[in-house]
């Protein structure tokens, strides 16, 4: 029997000042001001259609991601969150995150986000060095990156994340560590430290920049982890590091195979129905204008599909094995409705070969398994 998992809300804002050459997110250059109020209305109509599937449940976390949600004014974000609260119960202690680009950081705006109920900012810094920032096509420079963290704190965000990338074109391990040290010096509660990847359908994929050698990237990752640990940032997921008590609750719910409604252009959702014992995945039309045009016509706005029983184990593992702590064996049953033995004989093989380990009722990757996570997951593909 499936248990009812915690419920989150993901809200996608699909516009950016311009498109970064490495980015494959559903983000579109805004020609002029984005249509804030019609988009907020479309998001709320989208929410209303999703609500019957989660009747009586409370939203534990909200993540307003992008694109660049900080392009929107505080009034629009205020109207959005008020509209959400008017339609669904939001926990008093809910974590409410908004992604911000340092190039769109303003003190009045950040204060307005805080007043609207946002209690966590995630700031896309990527690097503090002028040359890498230029090559990444970022709209901000070093000073703006430094200032964004100060503005966040001044606006009352004592809980904020900085996104940094490493393995940047021609970056040396020392330069990556220098960026990390600068970020740590700003005192965020959380740091996301992503290796730059060349994603299909991006400019960087078509015209690859000169990336550092594998050994150098490996050194950045290893020494970065050590530096973060020295300063109290504990790695709990492949790219996520948090101070004690500041792991991202929203992302943890994804990785623990919790439920989430996905609102907005291109947003994905996952909802469990314990009565029928089914899990459904939902998605919304990707292009912002098409999404807006289809508002009010659910059949045009997206799709939904039941996750088949034999797809569940891999889907669960793909998320849960990203966590350093792995997962409680009991959670596997609660979230998939299947006994953990269904993973046999592959599970025993991975335990025997030293990819996975079992400890205190938890299954998780060993150090080696974690470094070759894709290979471990491959083993569980049908
Ligand atoms: C949706 S963006 C964050 C907010 C905002 N749009 C920004 O860029 O400032 C999420 C994060 O994913 C990371 N990211 C995006 N594309 C990436 C790539 N190709 N490789 C590694 N990390 C990437 C960046 O650190 C980025 O801040
Ligand atoms: S600002 Fe963020 S979401 Fe927008 S294109 Fe750049 S990386 Fe992608």
Q: Are 264 and 284 in contact, with CB atoms under 8 Å apart?
A: yes
C-alpha 231, offset from chain centre: 23
Per-residue pLDDT of the chain (382 residues; tens, 9 = 90+): 788 999 999 999 999 999 999 999 999 999 889 999 999 999 999 999 999 999 999 999 999 999 999 999 999 999 999 999 999 999 999 999 999 999 988 889 999 999 999 999 999 999 999 999 999 999 889 999 999 999 999 999 999 999 999 999 999 999 999 999 999 999 999 999 999 999 999 999 999 999 999 999 999 999 999 999 999 999 999 999 999 999 999 999 999 999 999 999 999 999 999 889 899 999 999 999 999 999 888 778 899 999 999 999 999 999 999 999 999 999 999 999 999 999 999 999 999 999 999 999 999 999 999 999 999 999 998 6
Residue 370 CA to residue 355 CA, distance in Å, equals: 8
22 lines ligand 1 (CB under 6 A): yes
Going by alpha carbons, the residue nearest to atom 14 of ligand 1 is: 23
Instruction: Starting from the CA of residue 26, give the closest ligand.
Output: 2
- Cα(32) to centroid of ligand 1, in Å? 22
Please, is 242 exposed, middle or buried when counting C-beta atoms within 10 Å of its C-beta (0-12, 13-18, 19+)? buried
Residues contacting 291, CB < 8 A, separation 6+: 14, 42, 264, 265, 266, 284, 285, 301
pLDDT of residue 18: 94
Which residue's C-alpha comes closest to atom 10 of ligand 1? 124
Q: How far is the CA of 112 from the centre of ligand 2 (A)?
A: 22
Cβ of residue 137 lying under 6 Å from some atom of ligand 1: no
Which residue's CA is the closest to the ligand 2 atom numbered 2? Answer: 67
* 115-116-119-125 Cα dihedral, nearest 10 degrees: -100
Q: Is the CB of 20 under 6 A from ligand 2?
A: yes
The atom of ligand 1 lying closest to the CA of 70 is: 5
| Beta-carbon contacts of residue 261 (< 8 Å; ≥ 6 apart) | 7, 8, 9, 10, 47, 50, 54, 269, 271, 282
The Cα–Cα gap between 181 and 173 comes to 12
Atom 3 (ligand 2) nearest CA: 67
Question: Residue of the nearest CA to atom 3 in ligand 1?
Answer: 124
CA of 265 to the centre of ligand 2 (A): 15
Length of the chain counted residue by residue:
382
**CA 22, 27, 31: angle at the middle one, nearest 5?**
115
Q: Which one of the ligands is nearest to 121 CA?
A: 1
User: Atom 8 in ligand 2: which residue has the minimum CA distance?
Assistant: 23
123 CB near ligand 2 (under 6 Å): no
Confidence at residue 382, expressed as pLDDT on a 0 to 100 scale: 62
Residues 6+ apart with CB under 8 A from 131: none
Residue (of 93, 66, 88) closest to 9 by Cα position: 88
Q: How far apart are CA 25 and CA 197, in angstroms?
A: 13
* pLDDT attached to residue 274: 85
Going from the Cα of 312 to the center of ligand 2, the distance in angstroms, rounded, reads 31
Is the CB of 18 inside a 6 Å radius of any atom of ligand 2?
Answer: no
Among all bound ligands, the one having the nearest atom to the CA of 195 is 1
Q: Is the CB of 101 under 6 A from ligand 2?
A: yes
pLDDT recorded at residue 20: 96
Ligand 2 close to Cβ of residue 68 (< 6 A): yes
Nearest CA to ligand 1 atom 16: 23
Q: Which atom of ligand 2 is nearest to the CA of 22?
A: 7
66 lines ligand 2 (CB under 6 A): yes
- What is the Cα–Cα distance from 95 to 136, expressed in whole angstroms? 30
3-class SS letters over the chain: CCCCCCEEEEEEECEECCCCCCCCCCCEECCCCCCHHHHHHHHHHHHHHHHHHHCCCCEEEEEEEECCHHHCCHHHHHHHHHHHHHHCCEEEEEEEEEEECHHHCCHHHHHHHHHHCCCEEEEEEECCCHHHHHHCCCCCCHHHHHHHHHHHHHCCCCCEEEEEEECCCCCCHHHHHHHHHHHHHCCCCEEEEEECCCCCCCHHHHCCCCCCCHHHHHHHHHHHHHHHHHCCCEECECCEEECCCCCCHHHHHHHCCCEEEEECCCCEEEEEECCCCEEEEEEECCCHHHHHHCCCCHHHHEEEEECCHHHHHHHHHHHHCCECCCEEHHHHHHHHCCCHHHHCCHHHHHHHCCCEEEECCEEEECHHHHHCHHHHHHHCCC
The dihedral through the CA atoms of 168, 187, 252, 110 has a sign that is negative
Domains and CATH numbers, the chain: 7-253 (3.20.20.70), 311-378 (1.10.10.10)
Q: Decide whether any atom of ligand 1 lies within 6 Å of the 208 Cβ.
A: no
């Amino acid at each position: 029997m499936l248990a009812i998992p915690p419920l989150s809300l993901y809200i996608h804002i699909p516009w950016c000042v311009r498109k970064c050459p490495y980015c494959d997110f559903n983000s579109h250059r805004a020609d002029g001001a984005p249509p804030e109020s019609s988009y907020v209305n479309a998001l709320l109509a989208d929410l209303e259609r999703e609500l019957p599937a989660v009747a009586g449940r409370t939203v534990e976390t909200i993540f307003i991601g992008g694109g660049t949600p900080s392009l929107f004014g505080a009034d629009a974000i205020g109207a959005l969150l008020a509209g959400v609260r008017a339609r669904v119960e939001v926990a008093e202690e809910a974590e409410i995150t908004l992604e911000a680009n340092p190039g769109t950081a303003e003190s009045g705006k950040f204060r307005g986000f805080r007043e609207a109920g946002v209690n966590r900012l995630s700031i896309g810094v990527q690097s503090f060095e002028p040359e890498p920032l230029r090559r990444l096509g970022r709209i901000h420079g070093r000073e703006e990156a430094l200032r964004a963290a100060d503005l966040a704190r001044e606006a009352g965000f004592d809980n904020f994340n900085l996104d940094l990338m490493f393995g940047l074109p021609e970056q040396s391990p020392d330069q990556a560590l220098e960026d990390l040290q600068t970020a740590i010096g700003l005192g965020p509660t959380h740091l996301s430290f992503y290796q730059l990847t060349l994603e299909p359908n991006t400019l960087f994929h078509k015209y690859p920049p000169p990336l550092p050698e594998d050994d150098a990237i490996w050194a950045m990752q290893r020494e970065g982890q050590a530096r973060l640990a020295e300063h109290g940032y504990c790695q709990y997921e492949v790219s996520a590091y948090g101070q004690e008590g500041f792991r991202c609750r929203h992302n943890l719910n994804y990785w623990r195979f919790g439920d989430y409604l996905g609102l907005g252009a291109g947003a994905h959702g996952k909802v469990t129905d314990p009565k029928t014992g089914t899990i459904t995945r939902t998605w919304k039309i990707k292009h912002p204008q098409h999404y807006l045009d289809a508002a009010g016509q659910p059949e045009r706005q997206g799709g939904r599909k039941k996750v088949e029983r034999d797809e569940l184990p891999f889907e669960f593992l793909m998320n849960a094995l990203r966590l350093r702590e792995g997962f409680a064996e009991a959670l596997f049953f609660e979230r998939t409705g299947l006994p953990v033995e269904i993973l046999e004989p592959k599970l025993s093989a991975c335990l025997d070969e030293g990819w996975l380990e079992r400890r205190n009722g938890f299954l998780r990757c060993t150090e080696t398994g974690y470094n070759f996570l894709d290979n471990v997951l491959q083993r569980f593909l049908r």
